[in-house]
Amino acid sequence: PSEILPATLTYDTLRFGEFEDFPETSEPVWVLGTQFSALTEKDEILSDITSRLWFTYRKSFLPIGGTGPTSDTGWGCMLRCGQMILGQALVCRHLGRDWRWVRGQRQREEYVSILNAFIDKKDCYYSIHQIAQMGVGEGKSIGQWYGPNTVAQVLKKLAVFDSWSRMAVHVAMDNTVVIEEISEFPPRACCAQCFMMPQSLGVIGGKPNSAHYFIGFVGEELIYLDPHTTQPAVEPSEDGQVPDDSYHCQHPPCRMDICELDPSIAAGFFCKTEDDFDDWCARIRKMSCSRGSLPMFELVDSQPSHLISADVLNLTPGRHFSDSDRLERFFDSEDEEFEILSL
């Protein structure tokens, strides 16, 4: 039988969580690269946050692997956070950053296709079934808790099969962005900086054995979506439409002090074009020059000699590395679209 880590968190956000209204503050609110005023744009803030895909624990789906778990409660929070950050990349890819979800409104075809990719069924590209089973190749038993590095590696492998989105994943080492490889491929304070970039997809991480999807900050607090809620599995209708109310968080977002964040995180970015990537590089360089702390990333034009060989970067089975040593990129080699996840 699969081994489940005993330290996993099993609280239910909707049943036991206390949701505070958004703070009345003059400090700017940043959500995935967009700045808001909490005093004059509260409705816009909540609309933006509600529009993000919210993937939580689910129950009563078909057994993973045919005989495995029928719920991911207690062990699947990082898998769900991986779904959320990748889902945001797909929303940017197919719908655009400014797209908004409206409850009860007929869904666009692209949105339906994105949501169907995450339905809890074995034949959906990014389902809990696919992520859990692909994780076996990364040394994780079905039902075992993932770190951000493991979920990044698994999403890399699964993205290969998504012919509609045509997004591939490249993994670099030591938080180093090798610009040459992108061109050729067909710390806590830094975490707050991530949300101010227009390319931001957010951050996945949290505390040991308790993962969240962070999408912004206000003052010294991070804004996040919490997957620790168990909801029934959803069945699409015959015409492919998905009952989607439970895939959007419709209560005030959760917040936590940035000092409580565990340093093992994955930060995501999406660039529509090569110009967007150049802009991202310029912003990283500017932050590196203007602050006394260590830079978020090191940018180099070509692969340094101290980095490992390319065959390991392809994440061949049996080769594993620590969470702190990863930089992951999702990108579309044909349309020059990509996402970067730093670990």
Catalytic positions are 77, 226, 228
Task: Determine the distance from the C-alpha atom of residue 43 to the mean position of all C-alpha atoms in its chain, rounded to a whole number.
Answer: 24
Q: Which residues contact 311 (CB under 8 A, 6 or more apart)?
A: none
Q: How far apart are the first and last CA of the chain?
A: 31
**In contact, 41 and 214? CB cutoff 8 Å:** no
Q: Which residues contact 312 (CB under 8 A, 6 or more apart)?
A: 319
Where does the chain show beta strands of DSSP type E? Answer: 28-31, 34-37, 57-59, 168-173, 176-178, 200-207, 210-218, 221-225, 230-232, 254-257, 266-271, 298-300, 326-332, 337-342
**In contact, 313 and 171? CB cutoff 8 Å:** yes
- Strand 57-59 and strand 230-232: the pairing is parallel
Residue 169 CA neighbour count, 13 Å, CB half: 24
**In contact, 265 and 201? CB cutoff 8 Å:** no
Q: How far apart are the C-alpha atoms of 294 and 56, rounded to whole Å? A: 34
Q: Which residues contact 97 (CB under 8 A, 6 or more apart)?
A: 32, 33, 34, 91, 198
Q: Which residues contact 339 (CB under 8 A, 6 or more apart)?
A: 89, 92, 167, 201, 268, 269, 270, 271, 329, 330, 331
**In contact, 215 and 14? CB cutoff 8 Å:** no
